[in-house]
Amino acid sequence: MWIFLSNGFVSITRHNSHKDFLHVRARNPQHLLNIWPDCEVQITPHADYTARTSLPELVVVHTIMNYMKEIDYSNFKNTIDDHQYKTMAMRVWDQHFAYGKRIELPHLEEQVEQAKHYIEAPDEFLHAYQGTGSDANALLKTRNVKQLDSPIGLPNEELQIGNGSLTLCGLSDFEQVIKPGKTVVTMSRYPQRFPHNCIENEWIHCHFRFNSEEPFVWTSVTETVVSLIEDGHDVVLHCIKGKDRTGKVAYMVLREYGYSHEDAIQTMGHIRPVCEEFWTTKNFEEYLLSKTNEHR
């Protein structure tokens, strides 16, 4: 069994001679000590796993159960502080995402017996990819994408909030706000090109349709943005025009931080003036109510 925790990765198998014990192995000896501080770690430099220990089954089960009970995050990868370990986890994520794309999903109308086990979900692409600006540029090059224009007005402002910040934009004014170190959350099908000095910026692609009726879509993206901010990220949030999806998710984020409806709308207009008038219209208010289940 492979187990990824925020502070370490381990592989667990049954002990050959002591059936009540488990072999727990790791690539990094510190991972074993992070999870079981009192364990005795054996260093095996020429073996597949370079560190290992043997622990009673009940000890292992109890520890893993405690980790499960303490889950309070919406994005596991963002809980990993160690850069090398996070890079490894991201590569594993990339591989099992690619694996999922190769799997032929059941046709529920044709496979009646299987249909009772499944729910036909909407065609959404939440958290479809997490990488860097260079990955976004590679996607644009591969698909030969010509981007649509979005309105450019007064300069957008960075809002200091929580442990980080939030900046809103569209495709056309993306280059005005992107800076080295900022984390970009893209909600449109394609991102904007990252300038050369920002290709190492973290990029999270959460594409979904602007008219999605699924509450979980909006909640999931909102939780992603809040989680990033609470982890100290300076987030750039955008869709194509930076007003529909961007406006609704920004509104929900501000509400999560205790803003009233009026204060949230006013703040959004202040940090993205080009959309200030649109965000005060009755159409946008109805849009919020229908998509976010907002009740004031």
CATH number at residue 288: 3.90.190.10
Is residue 287 located within the same domain as residue 181? yes
Total domain count, the chain: 2
> What pLDDT, on the 0 to 100 scale, is given for residue 145?
67
Which of 69, 87, 112 is the last residue in one of the domains? 69
280 located within any domain:
yes
pLDDT for the residue 183: 96
- Domain membership flag for residue 110: no
Give residue 123's pLDDT.
Answer: 47
Same domain, 176 and 270: yes
* Same domain? 38 vs 133: no
Residues 6+ apart with CB under 8 A from 77: 86, 89, 90, 93, 130
Q: Both 64 and 139 in a single domain?
A: no
For the sheet containing 2-5, what is the strand order? 2-5, 8-14, 21-26, 51-56, 42-43
Same domain as 185, residue 270? yes
Q: Which residues have CB under 8 Å from 30's CB, separation 6+?
A: 8
**Structural domain boundaries enclosing 257:** 125-292
Q: Which of 21, 43, 69 is the last residue of a domain?
A: 69
CB atoms near residue 70 (< 10 Å)? 9
The pLDDT score that the predictor gives to residue 124 is 47
Whether residues 283 and 138 share a domain: the answer is yes
Residue 97, in any domain of the structure: no
Q: Would 278 be classed as within a structural domain?
A: yes
Per-residue pLDDT of the chain (296 residues; tens, 9 = 90+): 999 999 999 999 999 888 899 999 999 999 999 999 999 999 998 888 999 999 999 999 999 999 999 998 777 877 888 888 988 887 887 787 677 767 776 665 555 455 555 555 444 444 457 888 988 888 888 777 665 555 566 689 999 999 999 999 999 889 889 999 999 999 988 888 899 999 999 999 888 888 877 777 888 889 889 989 999 999 999 999 999 999 999 999 999 999 999 999 999 999 999 999 999 999 898 888 765 554 34
**What's the pLDDT at 92?**
86
Q: Are residues 26 and 162 in the same domain?
A: no
Q: Does one domain contain both 61 and 194?
A: no
Q: Are residues 148 and 288 in the same domain?
A: yes
In a domain, 101, yes or no: no
**Structural domain contains residue 79:** no
- Cβ–Cβ under 8 Å, residues 239 and 185: no
Q: Are the C-beta atoms of 272 and 199 separated by less than 8 Å?
A: no
In the listed set 69, 94, 110, which residue is the last one of a domain according to the structure? 69
86 falls within a domain: no
Same domain for 276 and 208: yes
Residue 106 lies in a domain: no
Co-location of 152 and 217 in the same domain: yes
Handedness of CA 42, 48, 50, 55 (dihedral sign): negative
Query: Do 20 and 155 fall within a single domain?
Result: no
